[in-house]
Amino acid sequence: MDEDGRSDDGSTPTAAQAACFEAGIKFGSLYHQFAGTPVSVESAASLARAMEEAIENQPGCRSVSVAVREEELAAALEAGPASYTELTGRFLEVEIAVEHAGVAVLARMEMADGYPLMRLVSVDDVGG
Amino acid sequence: MDEDGRSDDGSTPTAAQAACFEAGIKFGSLYHQFAGTPVSVESAASLARAMEEAIENQPGCRSVSVAVREEELAAALEAGPASYTELTGRFLEVEIAVEHAGVAVLARMEMADGYPLMRLVSVDDVGG
Amino acid sequence: MDEDGRSDDGSTPTAAQAACFEAGIKFGSLYHQFAGTPVSVESAASLARAMEEAIENQPGCRSVSVAVREEELAAALEAGPASYTELTGRFLEVEIAVEHAGVAVLARMEMADGYPLMRLVSVDDVGG
Amino acid sequence: MDEDGRSDDGSTPTAAQAACFEAGIKFGSLYHQFAGTPVSVESAASLARAMEEAIENQPGCRSVSVAVREEELAAALEAGPASYTELTGRFLEVEIAVEHAGVAVLARMEMADGYPLMRLVSVDDVGG
């Protein structure tokens, strides 16, 4: 076994790796299902709630927390002629908790250098 | 002017036609933004609310009413191994009211012969 | 019959209005199915082709022409750190021809005052 | 270091775990961006090509291979009245190769027990 707990052929995925793959699926799903949705300050809350509950349906998804960055959204709307815009990553902060094959994964999307970055926060054995 | 109120070249769109075009945009937007969303009986209400409020942001959209056909959804889920499925037209009834250029349009999506059918219900001058 | 060719109750949709509704559906579908897709100068052509062929499947859709505004896309990519971005209306010019119930409709999406505008171009009886 | 190469707090993600997270993002993105797209036997090839090139834009994505299961699609279309349907997992076989932080990940989506299953195939250190 090497340092990632893989067998000699170095390629069979571990339970922790599979759990991280599952967490990534949830993030990609959330982003690309809802990106482009018409959103305003008034409708942001219902969209965030729907995003949470939709992705929580997926296998192994323990919780999804979506916060719309309302100041950023309001500023973007003031800069243009319309009262709504299309949902994109710079208006979102997302945290997703997954448990798969006895491993708990926490992942987050937040802005970094002006771009939305999805990243793993923690990976923990929780038995199973 | 011919019977559709168009000028002699027969092709300049009328206000009523433009309003119907706007109503169609709303239907296509709603359907293709949200089709494929993971949905369960428990999460159907928040998704329906988000769909309504998202599309109501679009120009000239007076109101959107989305009802999830919960019996149909529950039956589909019982037939399979998962507790959720992907949103598609057979789980939806939608009514959209648009007002554009002094014309009010009501349109509806509902099942017909096993397929979701989008259709105009009424087109009325309301002044403007 | 009033100037839009509607009967006395003023609300039964005409064939031309139904055709315009169909054209709107195609525009909303195209936009919200594909908005948010990762796109680069290199991948723009395959995405445009897929958008055309996908929407041409819809009932009554005679032809769809999607042009990616490559200069606009290249400029947006030069301004940021990534080699791709998300598809949105300012990178697109779209023309859709629909024939429904003996009426031919041509509609177009193009930039106006910095925003993508979908509009009817012509509505013509073609018999049927 | 425990068997997954993590430090004593048991939670800092490894490079291999981060690479698996990235692979998951690509799968979720691909699926939820394109699910619901109108597809026929004739338009399947252009859609598959656009899916490949779109997701290959994402960071660390080495290659994407999308095959439409044309027999399954043809059978579904014969069973219904329309010449097209909505893209969903049962019409797809997808393989995605990611390289991130010196780790190569191969993942696949294929049918299992009547449902599309996304899974890791291999995870290999490739230096970096």
Task: Express each pLDDT in C18-30 by its tens digit.
Answer: 999 999 999 999 9
Least-confidence region, from B28-32, B87-91, C110-114: C110-114
Measured between beta carbons, which residues in chain B are less than 8 angstroms from residue D35?
35-36, 86
Indicate yes or no: CB of C47 within 8 angstroms of CB of D43: no
Cβ atoms within 10 Å of B71's Cβ, excluding its own: 10
> Could you tell me if the ipTM is greater than 0.95?
no
Identify whether the C-beta of residue A120 lies closer than 8 Å to the C-beta of residue A20. Answer: yes
For residue C61, which of C87, C91, C29 has the smallest C-alpha distance?
A: C29
How does strand C103-112 pair with strand C92-100?
antiparallel
Q: Which residue has the tokens 């619901």?
A: D36
The token duo for B63 is 């109101």
Q: How confident is the model at residue C127 (pLDDT cuts 50, 70, 90)?
A: confident
What average pLDDT does range C44-67 have in this prediction? 98
Measured between beta carbons, which residues in chain D are less than 8 angstroms from residue C52?
46
Residue D66 has φ and ψ, to the nearest 5°, of -115, 120
- Give the pLDDT confidence score for residue B4 in this predicted structure: 47
pTM score: 0.93
Residue A28 C-alpha, separation from nearest chain C C-alpha, in angstroms: 12
CA distance A110 to A50: 19
CA distances from C74 to D45, D126, D127 (A): 27, 33, 33
Indicate whether B7 pLDDT > 80.
no
Residue D6 C-alpha, separation from nearest chain B C-alpha, in angstroms: 33
- Percent of chain D residues past pLDDT 90, beyond the cut: 82
- Give the pLDDT confidence score for residue D3 in this predicted structure: 45
- Give the pLDDT confidence score for residue A43 in this predicted structure: 98
Give the CB-side neighbour count of residue B1, counting CA atoms within 13 A: 11
Indicate yes or no: CB of D28 within 8 angstroms of CB of A28: yes
Measured between beta carbons, which residues in chain D are less than 8 angstroms from residue C56?
43
CA distance C79 to B113: 51
Indicate yes or no: CB of A86 within 8 angstroms of CB of C115: no
Helix (H, G, I), strand (E, B), or coil: what is residue A100?
strand
> Could you tell me which residues are beta bridge partners of residue B72?
none
CA distance C122 to B13: 6
Indicate whether D102 pLDDT > 60.
yes
- Give the pLDDT confidence score for residue D83 in this predicted structure: 92
Give the CB-side neighbour count of residue C125, counting CA atoms within 13 A: 12
Angle at B91 between CA B85 and CA B97, to 5 degrees: 135
CA distance A89 to A36: 10
Residue A8 C-alpha, separation from nearest chain C C-alpha, in angstroms: 37
A26 versus C112: the higher-pLDDT residue is A26
Indicate yes or no: CB of C10 within 8 angstroms of CB of B124: yes
Measured between beta carbons, which residues in chain A are less than 8 angstroms from residue D98?
none
- Give the pLDDT confidence score for residue D128 in this predicted structure: 62
Residue B9 C-alpha, separation from nearest chain D C-alpha, in angstroms: 34
pLDDT per residue as tens digits for the range D60-83: 999 999 999 999 999 999 988 889
Indicate yes or no: CB of A22 within 8 angstroms of CB of D18: no
What value does the mean pLDDT of chain C take? Answer: 92
Q: Which residue has the tokens 């109108």?
A: D38
- Give the pLDDT confidence score for residue A11 in this predicted structure: 86
Q: How confident is the model at residue A10 (pLDDT cuts 50, 70, 90)?
A: low
Of B14, B120, B121, which has the smallest distance from its Cβ to C4's Cβ? B14
Indicate yes or no: CB of A35 within 8 angstroms of CB of C32: no
Of D43, D56, D83, which has the smallest distance from its Cβ to C54's Cβ? D43
For residue B123, which of B31, B4, B1, B11 has the smallest C-alpha distance?
A: B4
The token duo for B69 is 């056909």
Residue D105 has φ and ψ, to the nearest 5°, of -125, 135
Indicate yes or no: CB of C113 within 8 angstroms of CB of A81: yes
Residue B49 C-alpha, separation from nearest chain A C-alpha, in angstroms: 7
